[in-house]
A and B are shown apart, each in its own frame.
Chain A
Amino acid sequence: MHIVVCIKQVPDSAQIRVHPVTNTIMRQGVPTIINPYDLFALEQALSLRDAYGGEVTVLTMGPPMAEDALRKALGYGADRAVLLTDRYFAGSDTLATSFALSQAIAKVGETFGAPDIVFTGKQTIDGDTAQVGPGIAKRLDLLQLTYVAKIPSVDLDAREIKVERRCEGGTQMLKSRLPCLITMLEGTNEIRRGSLEDALCAARSQVLKWSAADAGIDDLTRCGLRGSPTVVKRVFAPTARAEKAALIETAEMTLRDLADELIGAILTRQPALEQELAFNGGA
C-alpha cells in the first residue's frame, strides 16, 4: 500500500506576537512545528503501513526551510519525503495550494506508484480553513472522507475502506473505496517516537526537492497569487474594548458577601436573567 501524507510546517502560533504599532507578525525566534493535526494523519498512515505493508511518502509545499518538517517526519518513520518548493507558489490561497499539491501527488504517483490513500490533517493551526484536503480530493477525483476519527478496516484486495467520521451530534460509519483522501481528526492517536534506526535513516535520507516544473506543473497561472481567487485586502488588529472590567473589591469582605455582591451586579446588568436562572437551575 502506498500512502501519501500532506504536512505543513507552521509557526508555533502560541508563541506569535503581534507588533503593537505596525500590526505585523513578529516572527523572529518563533519556532516552527509540524501542524499538530498532520501528526495524527502521519501516525495513522504509519500504523496502516505497519499493518498492511507498503510505503509512506510525506509531502509538503513550502519554503526551503520546510525541509526540517520533512526530516522530522522521516524520523518518525516515513519512507520518503518530497518538498515542493518554488517561488511561483508564494501567496497561494487554498485553491492554489490544493492545485499544486494535487499535481505533486500525481507526480509522486507516477514516480513511486499510485497512492491508495492520501492523508491530511483536519486543518492547519495557522490557516484554520480545513479546505485544502477537500480541494486535493476534488482535483484528483478521489473520494473524500473528512473528520475521520478511526479506520476500522482496509481491504486491499476488495479496494474497500471503512471509516468512522465525526459529524454534528455523533459518528457516521462509512464504507468507501480506495483510492481516497482522508482528513484526520485530532486526539485519535499519539505520534510514535521514531526508532533509532528511523532517526539514522532520516539523517541519511534525501529529501526530494521539486520545483513546479519537476512536479509537472506547466500552467503556472494556477499557482501562487495568480492562481488564487481570494485576495487579502486588509489586515488589522481587533478593536480593543474601551472599558475594562468593573472589578468588585475583595478586601475585607467575606466570601458570602462577595458572592452576593457579584450576583447583585450581574442581575443589575441583566435583570431578565433572574427568572431564567431560577427556572433552569436545579434549586
Chain B
Amino acid sequence: MSNANREAPRPNAGRAGTKKELPEHFKDYRHVWVFIELERGQVHPVSFELLGEGRKLADKLGVALAGIVLGPPGETTQSAVAEAFAYGADLVYIVEAPILVDYRNEPFTKAMTELVDTYKPEILLLGATTLGRDLAGSVATTLKTGLTADCTELDVDADGSLAATRPTFGGSLLCTIYTLNYRPQMATVRPRVMAMPQRADTPIGRVIKHKLSMAEEEIVTKVLGFLPDSQSAKANLAYADVVVAGGLGLGGAENLQLVKDLARAIGAEHGCSRPLVQKGWLSADRQIGQTGKTIRPKLYIAAGISGAIQHRVGVEGADLIVAINTDPKAPIFDFAHLGIVTDAIRFLPALTEAFTRRLSPHSRDKLAS
C-alpha cells in the first residue's frame, strides 16, 4: 500500500475491493515462500523469523512452506539451505550462480521472478531489510501484483486470503491489507517484529534446483567494492537481549555517557529516540522506533524518553520495559511494565552502580569456575 492519494480508510473499495473468482491462470498458485536473505555468506535472522511465521500460514492453508535461496555455488549457499530446513521449510528452491555472489537488483529480480513464474507460490514473504525492500519492490512490479510493506501481523482469513496488517500514519493506526485478485500475495516484515522460531535438528527436505538464464555480460551494474561498517558502528541493536536507551530528557549530548555506562555494566546495547539522531548525538543505526530499529529484548530500559507512538512501535515486543521519566503522565508509562518517576540524569549513575554491586559476585563466580 502507501499511496499518493489514499487518504482515509475506504471500506468501500469498489471493484478492486471485492474478491472475484480468482482468474484461471492464478488457480494453481500454491505454497508459502520465504526468501532466505543471504548477504556475504550470512543468512539474515529475519529469514528465520519469517519461516516461523510462514509455517503458521502454510499449516493454516494446508500447503508446503518453501525457502528461496539465491547465492553463489558453494558452502555458504548450501548451509543457508540447511538452515532453512532447520527453521521449518519443507522444501527449498535454490538458484546457484556466480553472478549471485553480491546482491544486485538485476540478477536477483530475474532469479526471483523466474522462480515465481515457474513454481507459482500463493504467498511470498521477504524481510524489510535494505536488500529485501529493494528486491520486493521490483519483483512485485515485474509480476504486477500487490506488495504490503513492513507488516506487523500476518494471517489467512476464512477464504484463504492473506491478511497483512501494518502500521499506518506513523503507527497511530493499523490497517489490514489484502491482495485479492492477484498472485502471489507479497509482504515484507521488518527484522525482530516476528518471534524467532525454535531451530530443529532435522535439517532435511526436498531441494529443487533452478538454473538462472542470465549471464554476467547481461548485467550492467558492477560491484566495485564493499566497505564494512567499523566495529563501533556495528551495533547489533535489533538482536540485543538487553537495551538501554536515552531520549531528549537527558538534556545534553554529554549525558548520553550515563546511558552508555549502564549499558556497558550490564552487557547491553545502547540506543536512542529519534531527536538524538537528528541532533547528531548518535548515529542513525542507534535509533529505535518506526523509522529506526525494531527491538525485541528481554529487558528494555528507557531513560528520558516520552514514549511517542513512533517510538512505541519499535519497542513493544520487549519482554520487560522499564521507564525512567520525570513526568508521571508521560505516555511511556502507558506501555512500560515498570516505571520510576525521577530524574534520569541523577538516577542512571546510581542504577549503574547498584547493578555492578549486585552482579559482581556472580561474575567472580563465573571467572573462578
Contact A276:B242 (CB < 8 A) given known A167-B103, A168-B39 = yes
Contacts of B242 in A (CB 8 A): 273, 276-277, 280
CB of A95 within 8 A of CB of B144, answer: yes
Asked if B150 is an interface residue, CB under 8 A from chain A, the answer is yes
Is chain A's binding surface mostly helix, strand, loop or mixed?
Answer: mixed
Partner of B146, one of A93, A224, A245: A93
- Interface flag for A13 (CB, 8 Å): yes
Q: Does A241 contact B (CB under 8 A)?
A: yes
- Contact indicator A98/B141 (Cβ below 8 Å): yes
Checking B130, B224, B241 against A174 with a beta-carbon cut-off of 8 angstroms, the contacting residue is B224
Minimum CB–CB distance from A156 to chain B (whole Å) comes to: 17
Q: In the assembly, what is the distance between CA of A73 and CA of B130, in Å? A: 28
* Contact residues in A for B338 (Cβ distance below 8 Å): 245-246, 248, 262, 265-266, 269
Which of B16, B181, B267, B339 neighbours the largest number of chain A CB atoms within 10 Å of its CB? B16
Assuming the contacts A132-B2, A232-B175, asked whether A247 and B333 have C-beta atoms less than 8 A apart, the reply is yes
Are A147 and B362 in touch, CB under 8 angstroms? no
Chain B binding surface, main DSSP class: mixed
Please determine whether A245 and B323 come into contact, CB atoms closer than 8 angstroms.
yes
Within A2-31, which residues are at the interface with B (CB < 8 Å)?
8, 13-14, 16-18, 23-25
Stretch at the interface among B28-36, B57-65, B350-358: B350-358
Known: A129-B150, A131-B147. A174 touches B223 (CB 8 A): yes
Complex Cα–Cα for A137 and B323 (A): 44
* Chain B 257-301 interface mask (CB, 8 Å, partner A; 1/0): 000000011111000000000000000100000110000001100
- The B-contacting residues of A in range 227-252, CB under 8 angstroms, are 227-238, 240-241, 244-248, 250
- Among the interface residues A131, A162, A166, which one has the most CB atoms of the partner chain B within 10 A? A131
From 182 to 229 in chain B, residues with beta carbon under 8 angstroms from any chain A beta carbon are 182, 220-229
- Give residues 139-181 of A contacting B (CB, 8 Å): 139, 143-147, 162, 165-177
CB distance from A246 to the nearest CB of B (A): 6
Most chain A beta-carbon neighbours within 10 Å: one of B44, B175, B266 = B266
With a CB–CB cut-off of 8 A, which chain B residues contact A194? none
Please tell me if A217 contacts chain B, counting CB pairs below 8 Å.
no
- A238 with B174: in contact, given A89-B5, A168-B44 (CB under 8 Å)? yes
- CA of A170 to CA of B102, assembled, Å: 13
* Chain A nearest CB, measured from B273 CB (Å): 13
Q: Known interface pairs A130-B137, A250-B340. Does A187 touch B284 (Cβ–Cβ under 8 Å)?
A: yes
A270 beta carbon closer than 8 Å to chain B: yes
Closest to A91 in B: B6
The reply to whether A258 and B350 form a contact with Cβ atoms under 8 Å apart is yes
Q: Which of A16, A93, A234 contacts B6 (CB 8 A)?
A: A93
B77 at the interface (CB under 8 A from A): no
Q: What 0/1 pattern do residues 220 to 246 of B give for CB contact below 8 A with A? A: 111111111100001000000110000
Residue of B nearest to A24 (CB): B8
Tell whether B10 is near chain A: CB-to-CB under 8 Å.
yes
Smallest Cβ-Cβ distance to A8: which chain B residue: B4
Q: Is the CB of A225 within 8 A of B225?
A: no
A interface residues with partner B (beta carbon < 8 Å): 8, 13-14, 16-18, 23-25, 61-63, 89-98, 100, 124-135, 137-139, 143-147, 162, 165-177, 186-187, 224-238, 240-241, 244-248, 250, 255-256, 258-260, 262-263, 265-266, 269-270, 272-283
User: What are 17 A-B contacts with C-beta separation under 8 Å?
Assistant: A8-B4, A17-B172, A18-B169, A95-B140, A95-B146, A97-B2, A131-B137, A135-B138, A167-B39, A173-B227, A174-B224, A232-B9, A245-B338, A247-B333, A248-B338, A255-B350, A281-B265
**In the complex, the 6 A-B pairs of residues with the closest C-beta atoms, listed nearest first:** A280-B267, A127-B2, A134-B137, A229-B146, A278-B362, A259-B354
9 extra interface residue pairs, beta carbon distance < 8 Å, beyond A173-B223, A232-B9, A250-B340: A92-B5, A126-B170, A176-B221, A230-B148, A240-B334, A259-B355, A277-B359, A279-B267, A281-B356
